[in-house]
Structure 1
Amino acid sequence: MKVISFHLKGKMAHFRKFYSNSSALSYFIPPRTTVCGMIAGLMGIERDEYYEDFSLDKCKIAIASCRPIKKTMQKMNYLKVESPTKDLNGSQEYHSQTPMELVIPQNIRNSYVDYKIWIYHTEKNIMDEIEKIFLGKQIDYYTSLGTSIALGSAFNLGWIDGIEILEGKEINEIGEEIFSSAIPLEKVQEIKVDKMLEGRYRILKEEIPLEFNLEREITPNGLKDVLVNINSDSIPACVNSFVKLENEENIVWLE
């Protein structure tokens, strides 16, 4: 299979947890649903029109954090917008102050957030369109038929680089490897962390959304526990299925 990989980078990120209300909590990594929306936006597909084409059956995605990250909480002043004609300019007196959780690099002064994303689509025409958009990238920008790149929230602007097109082989048997990507917990047989190297790993479990239906409701298989190493290192594990890429990386699809 042909797999497209790229790096999604920015100074900070916010991937709002779907159950957040008064406090805007964030996932450590972009959920699969966010990545699907981002790719669809680059292709110029309107919101709510891409869910079927990017379903779990048709589109395979893997995600990794490539630099050490942490979270911080900041208070944000939101506008109370009741009328689009007069309230969007900030002239009204009432502001709603809301705590927002941001994902930032361990050293925000000289580093940035860096996620690596792998994608494969079963439909050749969509895969070719994604490849065409990414191969149109020049030195410091990329081609988009729709939205610009943001790491969750619109004000967390980011950029794409490190684009690769790789051949991969699906391994549908139990294998013990070093995995570059986050791993769905249900695929893990055992974590193989050497006690002498425990300091290298900060492996956390997060429950992240993977798929919405046309009503923007999470599907029966669209919410999974995922293991993420936020220290940017790989995860040594024994899993029941994975993909081996030609550059010797091992990844696990979020499915």
Structure 2
Amino acid sequence: MDTLVFDLTGPMAHFRKYYTNASALTYGFPPRTVLMGVVAAVLGWERDTYYEALDRGRFAVAVKVPGRRLVQTVNYMRTKKEDLSELRRLGRVPGTQTPLEFLLPAGEHTALRFRVFFAHPDGGLLDEAARRLSEGRSYYPLYLGLTECPASAVFVARLDQRACEVLPPNATVTLTSVLNASLLQDIVLGGAAAPRRLVRERAPYSFGPGRVLRPPVSVIYEAGGQPFPVRLRVPAYRFRLAGDGAAPGDEETVAFLEG
């Protein structure tokens, strides 16, 4: 399949971990469900209308800027049925204070950046998304998890199959993307490309009818956004990028979350 590549950038993010309750913790990357929502926002598809269509696609995401965490207590307003009449009168309604973890850029970086790879069998869908991104006009506003975390999308490239080198299973590859742990055969330790700190956690994968969350998947990524050497049970894909959003000689080796 042809592949659309773009960067998601923003000053801060919150990708809520689905299993947190008393406090809201964040992932260090946008999960697959977030990536689906971003593509749907670019194309102008309304909520709950795109799950089946975008599930036919394939997604990969690479962390390009290391992040740091900041916990901030925020006030949530109650909006239960019994509170609505009081809100309409502009009256006071009890609020709830909740610790909220934000993801911020680390070091000298001023913005987060995630590189998204989106492949789909419908070439027309890719063309429309690529056109909108290259013109800088997403149909709906983009954000990184919360509406309080606005984002922008930078078009990198729309690539056909000739721009992709398929790396066979069991070969040692230096991966730049978040990895579905079920695709992993071995982590290659030692050498200059050895990972500094790998993180493994469970993340949302897709929605079913009625926005019911389907079983999550276990994912692995390097906390500082550095590549890490692995051997996979499935092919990896090496993209040589060219375009306004890519640096000269820019190259990415990714594994799609779907395998």
Does the TM-score normalized on the shorter chain lie above 0.5? yes
Q: Which structure 2 residues correspond to residues 89-108 of structure 1 after superposition, within 5 A?
A: 91-107=91-107
1: CA distance, partners of 2:26 / 2:196: 21
Offset of 1:87 from its aligned partner? Answer: 2.6
- Tell me, yes or no, if the aligned pair for 1:70 and 1:230 is still in contact at 8 Å: no
Q: Which structure 2 residues correspond to residues 57-206 of structure 1 after superposition, within 5 A?
A: 58-82=56-80, 87=87, 91-107=91-107, 111-136=110-135, 142-145=136-139, 147-166=140-159, 167-194=163-190, 201-206=196-201
Residue identity opposite 1:244 in structure 2: R
The one-character-per-residue Cα deviations of 1:101-121 (angstroms, maximum 9, x if unpaired) are: 1111223x7522111111111
- Tell me, yes or no, if the aligned pair for 2:104 and 2:112 is still in contact at 8 Å: yes
Offset of 1:169 from its aligned partner? Answer: 4.0
Provide TM-score, normalisation by structure 1.
Answer: 0.87
1: CA distance, partners of 2:201 / 2:5: 23
Residue identity opposite 2:78 in structure 1: K
Residue 217 (structure 2) pairs with residue 218 (structure 1): no
The one-character-per-residue Cα deviations of 1:166-197 (angstroms, maximum 9, x if unpaired) are: 33244452221111111111111111232666
Aligned equivalent of 1:6: 6
Residue identity opposite 1:134 in structure 2: L
Aligned equivalent of 1:34: 34
Number of residues of Structure 1 aligned to a counterpart in Structure 2: 243
1: CA distance, partners of 2:145 / 2:88: 21
**% identical aligned pairs:** 25
The one-character-per-residue Cα deviations of 1:9-58 (angstroms, maximum 9, x if unpaired) are: 11110011222223112111111001101110111111000000011xx1
Residue 229 (structure 2) pairs with residue 229 (structure 1): no
Return 5+ residue gaps in structure 2 as ranges.
Answer: 242-250
The 4+ residue runs of structure 1 with deviation greater than 6 A are none
- Tell me, yes or no, if the aligned pair for 2:236 and 2:253 is still in contact at 8 Å: yes
- Tell me, yes or no, if the aligned pair for 1:70 and 1:106 is still in contact at 8 Å: yes
Provide TM-score, normalisation by structure 2.
Answer: 0.85
Residue identity opposite 1:16 in structure 2: R
Residue identity opposite 1:212 in structure 2: F
2: CA distance, partners of 1:171 / 1:195: 21
2: CA distance, partners of 1:229 / 1:88: 48
Residue identity opposite 1:179 in structure 2: L
2: CA distance, partners of 1:52 / 1:17: 23
